[in-house]
């Protein structure tokens, strides 16, 4: 169903682009805009992982520097049928994670130190399984296609304003409506595709980890933590909000048209339904230790006590 929704939304974006080109009446300008936007996004597609990881000051870790975390990702990747991705840790108190890379063979997953401090082992496994599901579903490729078409629409709209500003021929009202409405509509469709991919990654993460309720618990904690701790990277680069497993700022009012992510409670409810579907036939959790309750003591005290993942953070 998520794949069908994504296909329909991509078709809507394409139709919107073609409609805008028809309204402006310049097939040559539409082609130039599409080629330029495609070139920009192709560059981003090939280099997005390097750009994003560098901007986050992410540090790559391996089995020597972070054996527990890297071993966890390795086991999850095996269960997902994926090559081992590169693994990164971001020294940032904001709790979040993301995946990047143009295909499974060139993928990378990253988690912040804030996330590793906040979650228990099963919850971290659920989060990393979610990110590996993004890799398996090739969501980076899908979102690059979306960005290409949405970028072409915006560029064509700008060209329309530039070349039509002194032209009184044709229906100027239709042209102005198309120029202003098309980019807005493209943004809504782009956000809708992003939300659809999150639901798909939640389901995939539940299947890979075998523990949908651990992922649901992680989402609840991360949404609360992300709302409390500012994300300086998103303040500078709001377009990157789609990268993360939870939005940088908690949203309200369900799956808003203007949100990059589904409402967290909706995602938790969906994971509960998945847990019910899996029933007694679900595979055993990858990590079967009982989940630890988050301590009620102050964060400063928890920091002094440390956690199971402290060795990888000290490396």
When pLDDT is averaged across residues 158-181 and rounded to a whole number, the result is: 60
When pLDDT is averaged across residues 22-28 and rounded to a whole number, the result is: 66
Greater pLDDT, 113 or 292 = 113
Greater pLDDT, 24 or 261 = 261
The one catalytic residue in 68, 131, 272, 277 is 131
* Integer Cα distance of 199 and 40 in angstroms: 28
When pLDDT is averaged across residues 243-249 and rounded to a whole number, the result is: 78
φ and ψ at residue 76, rounded to 5 degrees? -65, -40
* Integer Cα distance of 103 and 100 in angstroms: 9
Q: In what order do the strands lie in the sheet with 108-112?
A: 59-61, 86-90, 108-112, 97-100
* Integer Cα distance of 107 and 45 in angstroms: 12
Confidence check: pLDDT of 208 > 60? yes
Confidence at residue 3, expressed as pLDDT on a 0 to 100 scale? 63
Residues of the chain above pLDDT 90, percent? 37
Confidence at residue 287, expressed as pLDDT on a 0 to 100 scale? 52
**Given pLDDT bands bounded at 50, 70 and 90, which one contains residue 298?**
very low
* Integer Cα distance of 217 and 56 in angstroms: 26
Burial level of 270, CB count in 10 A (0-12/13-18/19+)?
Answer: middle
**Given pLDDT bands bounded at 50, 70 and 90, which one contains residue 258?**
low
Can you say which residues are annotated as belonging to the binding site for Zn(2+)?
Answer: 130, 134, 198
Q: What is the mean pLDDT of the chain?
A: 76
DSSP bridge pairs for 61 = 87
Confidence at residue 73, expressed as pLDDT on a 0 to 100 scale? 97
When pLDDT is averaged across residues 127-133 and rounded to a whole number, the result is: 97
Confidence check: pLDDT of 272 > 70? yes
Whether residue 131 lies in the annotated active site: yes
Confidence check: pLDDT of 311 > 80? no
Q: Which residues contact 112 (CB under 8 A, 6 or more apart)?
A: 89, 90, 91, 92, 93, 94, 95, 96, 97
- The CA–CA distances, whole Å, from 267 to 148, 202, 214, 230, 271 equal 28, 8, 13, 22, 6
Burial level of 299, CB count in 10 A (0-12/13-18/19+)?
Answer: exposed
Greater pLDDT, 184 or 50 = 50
When pLDDT is averaged across residues 278-284 and rounded to a whole number, the result is: 58
**Given pLDDT bands bounded at 50, 70 and 90, which one contains residue 129?**
very high
φ and ψ at residue 40, rounded to 5 degrees? -65, -45
């Amino acid at each position: 169903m998520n794949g069908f929704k994504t296909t329909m939304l991509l078709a809507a974006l394409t139709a919107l682009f073609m409609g805008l080109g028809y309204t402006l009446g310049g097939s040559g300008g539409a082609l130039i805009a599409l080629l330029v936007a495609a070139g920009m996004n192709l560059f981003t597609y090939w280099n997005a992982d390097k750009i994003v990881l560098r901007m986050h000051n992410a540090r790559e870790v391996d089995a020597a520097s972070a054996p527990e975390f890297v071993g966890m990702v390795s086991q999850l990747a095996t269960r997902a049928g994926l090559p081992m991705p590169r693994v990164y840790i971001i020294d940032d108190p904001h709790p979040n994670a993301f995946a990047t890379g143009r295909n499974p063979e060139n993928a990378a997953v990253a988690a912040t130190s804030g996330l590793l401090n906040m979650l228990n082992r099963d919850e971290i496994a659920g989060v990393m399984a979610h990110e590996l599901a993004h890799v398996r579903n090739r969501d980076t490729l899908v979102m690059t296609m979306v960005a290409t078409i949405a970028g072409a629409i915006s560029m064509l709209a700008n060209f329309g304003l530039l070349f039509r500003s002194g032209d009184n021929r044709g229906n100027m009202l239709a042209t102005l409506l198309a120029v202003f409405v098309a980019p807005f509509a493209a943004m809504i469709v782009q956000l809708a595709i992003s939300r659809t991919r999150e639901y798909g990654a939640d389901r995939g993460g539940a299947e890979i980890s075998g523990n949908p309720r651990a992922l649901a618990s992680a989402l609840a904690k991360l949404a609360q933590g992300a709302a409390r701790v500012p994300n300086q990277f998103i303040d500078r680069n709001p377009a990157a909000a789609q990268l993360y497993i939870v939005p940088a700022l908690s949203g309200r009012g369900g799956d808003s048209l203007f949100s990059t992510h589904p409402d967290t409670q909706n995602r938790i409810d969906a994971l509960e339904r998945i847990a019910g579907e899996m029933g007694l036939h679900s595979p055993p959790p990858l990590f079967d230790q009982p989940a630890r309750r988050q301590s009620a003591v102050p964060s400063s005290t928890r920091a002094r006590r440390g956690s199971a993942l402290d060795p990888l953070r000290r490396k």
